[in-house]
Amino acid sequence: MSRNITRRDALAVFGGLAAFGIAACSDTSSDGSPSDHGQFKIGVLQLTEHKALDAANAGFVQALDAAGLKYTIDQQNAQNDQSACQTIASKLVNDGNDLILAIATPACQAVAGATADIPIVGTAITDYAASGLVADNDAPGGNVTGTSDLTPVEEQFDLLRKLLPNAKRVAVLYCTAESNSSVQAGMAHDAASARNLDAEDYTVSSSNEIQQVVESMIGKVDVIYAPTDNTIAAGMQTVAMVATENKLPIICGESGMVGNGGLATYGIDYGKLGRKAGEMAVRILNGEAKPAEMPIEHLDVSECTLTTNEEAAKTLGIDLSVLDA
């Protein structure tokens, strides 16, 4: 069982969307006028299925509906397959969509590589500029904009220190195929060093390597830090299975990972992040703004949520009451 504690009011939990080819209607084109039959055509490319990305997807759709837009939406999921990302991106472009939502960095890179004309709104992407998606996060300058899921790494390491005051060695677990995970890993090393912790990278190139890599860190580290990495998030149950058996706690980048076996996180609400992306899309479709002139948006740290896993804490013998002090 997981426990959620918010620093503001509790944020809404958004349900997941199905993976392939869902055509949802609600009714709105990039020049402010519907393209076909009085409706905008919106394409969605989601990298893979896990709670955070599903919530971002649902939040985006909620924003469209809240604005009263008329639209059709083509939901596509690449199932964490890079070649599928390329194929789906080309399809969404050739289908003549008025706007494309890209969920996660590889999905956005695929769509951006397929069109320089159709507006692209991204979400669940850490650093757009570092990933080559925009010229500058404050002034994108092209057809891509969106919302960033840059997590409060410093606060997450404060959480680690509070729960595990005797920890000395941290494994930073992520997938090398995701450029934004490398950005977060660098931030994790800085945060660890500032707290007199020794951090070491443990990386995978695909989900097939997760179990072996986690097993390789047993006895060498005191805690795992897993950032908002899509491969790790999708394989979190495997990570947790090996780690928990060996009394190795996991501090995670987002709450869905905690629900799948992690110990705790202080992270963003992906439903709210997706909703913010949807609000940006509404402005673009209504002709009120252009992606080139729309800075990348973030959630404020005060909107982050503390999530803990009581069952994992009990198994690991960790006292969560220290967080109430």
Q: What is the pLDDT of residues 95-119, one digit of tens each?
A: 999 999 999 999 999 999 999 999 9
CATH of 153-267+304-324, one of 3.40.50.150, 3.40.50.1820, 3.40.50.2300, 3.40.50.410: 3.40.50.2300
Residue boundaries of the structural domains of the chain: 2-149+269-294, 153-267+304-324
Domains 2-149+269-294 and 153-267+304-324 share a fold: yes
pLDDT per residue as tens digits for the range 210-237:
999 999 999 999 999 999 999 999 999 9
Counting every residue written for the chain, the total comes to 325
- What are the residues facing 74 on neighbouring strands? 23, 43
For the purposes of burial, counting CB atoms within 10 Å of the CB of 190, is it exposed (0-12), middle (13-18) or buried (19 or more)? middle
- Crossing angle for the helix pair 82-94 and 105-114, to the nearest 10 degrees: 40
The arithmetic mean of pLDDT across residues 227-255, rounded, is: 96
- pTM over cut 0.75: yes
| pLDDT tens-digit series, residues 28-51 | 344 455 655 579 999 999 999 999
Helix axes 51-66, 270-285, angle to 10 degrees: 40
Q: Cα(237)–Cα(253) distance, rounded to whole angstroms?
A: 15
**Tell me, what's the pLDDT at 32?**
52
Q: Minimum mean pLDDT among 120-124, 243-247, 297-301: which range?
A: 297-301
Q: What is the CATH number of domain 2-149+269-294?
A: 3.40.50.2300
The rounded distance, in Å, linking the Cα atoms of 295 and 58 is: 22
C-alpha angle 227-89-252 in degrees, rounded to nearest 5: 10
